Amino acid sequence: MERKQAAEFDQKVLDLYDDYAHGRLDRRDYMKRLGAFAVGGLTVEALMNSLSPNYSWAEQVKPDDPRIKAETVSYDSPQGGGKISGLLAHPAQGKSFPAVLVIHENRGLNPYIADVARRLAVEGFLAFAPDALSPLGGYPGNDDDGRAMQAKRDREEMTQDFIAAARWLDGHQLSSGKLGAVGFCYGGGMVYQLAVRIPDILDAGVPFYGSQPDAKDISKIKAPLLVNNAGLDKRILDGAPAFEAAMKQQGKEVTSYVYPGVNHGFHNDTTPRYDQAAAELAWKRTLEFFRKNLG
Render each residue's pLDDT in the chain as its tens digit; 295 residues. Answer: 567 888 889 999 999 998 998 889 899 999 999 989 988 778 888 888 888 888 888 789 999 999 999 999 999 999 999 999 999 999 999 999 999 999 999 999 999 999 999 999 999 999 999 999 999 999 999 999 999 999 999 999 999 999 999 999 999 999 999 999 999 999 999 999 999 999 999 999 999 999 999 999 999 999 999 999 999 999 999 999 999 999 999 999 999 999 999 999 999 999 999 999 999 999 999 999 999 999 9
pLDDT of residue 186: 97
pLDDT of residue 46: 87
pLDDT of residue 1: 59
pLDDT of residue 100: 99
Q: In the chain, which residue ranges form alpha helices assigned H by DSSP? A: 11-21, 27-34, 44-51, 111-122, 143-152, 155-170, 186-197, 234-237, 240-249, 276-294
Ordered by start, the domain boundaries in the chain are 6-52, 59-294
- Number of alpha carbons in the 13 Å side-chain half-sphere of residue 294: 34
pLDDT of residue 250: 97
Identify the CATH class of 59-294.
Answer: alpha beta
pLDDT of residue 99: 98
Residues 9, 11, 18, 27, CA torsion sign: negative
Q: Pick the closest to residue 235 from 34, 48, 24 (CA basis).
A: 24
pLDDT of residue 284: 98
pLDDT of residue 52: 86
Contact between residue 70 and residue 89 where contact means Cβ atoms under 8 Å apart: yes
What does the DSSP assignment read for 185-252? THHHHHHHHHHHH-TTT--EEEEES-PPPPGGGGGG--S-EEEEEETT-HHHHTTHHHHHHHHHHTT-
